[in-house]
Amino acid sequence: MTFFIATSEPCGASHVTRSGVPGWRSMERVRARGAGRIPRHLSMRRKGLSLTSILLGPLCLMPHLAAQQPVIPLAKPIKERYSPIRQVSGATLVGVLAGGSDNAVASNIPNVYIPGTPAGKLCLSIASRDGTYSATAEYSLNHTGPGIYALSFHSGYDNFKSFHMNDLASVAEVKDDCSSGPSTWTTRTILPVFWSDQGFAYPIHLLLQADEADTRLRASGPNAPSLHCSRPDSGAKITFDEDCVIPAAWKPVLKDPLEIDVSNFGDNAPPMHVLLAVP
């Protein structure tokens, strides 16, 4: 059994002693109180302590909210997170991307096609493939008519501009309340996202975090097409690990909902149903 000695310090006030290991001073205090020797059951190598310090050390993040120049105006400030410590998304459907490009985001902003004249808020979420960045944004539609619109989105993090468009999983949908989660039993209407240097294009990528489960996409109706989703060929698979690639030949069947069926070693969860808003 291994025992760990932890110290509590204010955020940003950890010290580094001659060993170069935060918290080593606490071990020295134990040594001083213990007649010059640390008990065997409490001793550990510096290497182990260093690893423990890395795993348990405090992480301080300061959120930044950037002023926006709206195309469709923001209803609330963008909420962003950037951390070099990668975190696994708990979502299932994490992105719907139209076209895609290996180009960096740079100064480009997301675009969507809005069908009809929807009421409510346009809710956007963006997460990087490697899990280091995520953001949410909310937009007022104000009786916006059908058409393609650019969404005001200017990140407060310089790192965002270097992400490749293919490495960003984005979900845009119209809801009454952007803070409400998706329902398992209802069909979600998703607006595929594309970036401003490109028009709407196929294929459409449905990006999922499926924990390597077998994932299949089916269209509605008799003799409707279906396809197996696949793991991305390269890159980190933190935010999404399945890519359902919808070809242009599917355009006639996209007027009806699609079914996403995930099977994990024979354990079938209820299928998800999504309707894609495409021009």
Q: State the Cα–Cα distance between residues 147 and 114, nearest whole angstrom.
A: 5
Angle in degrees, 0-180, between the axes of helices 24-33 and 46-56, rounded to the nearest 10: 130
Query: What tens digit of pLDDT does each residue of 162-184 get?
Result: 999 999 999 999 999 998 887 66
Query: What tens digit of pLDDT does each residue of 218-259 get?
Result: 999 888 999 999 988 766 778 898 999 999 999 999 999 999
User: What is the model's pTM?
Assistant: 0.67
- Contact between 278 and 113 under an 8 Å Cβ cutoff? The reply is yes
Alpha helix ranges (H) inside 23-113: 24-33, 46-56
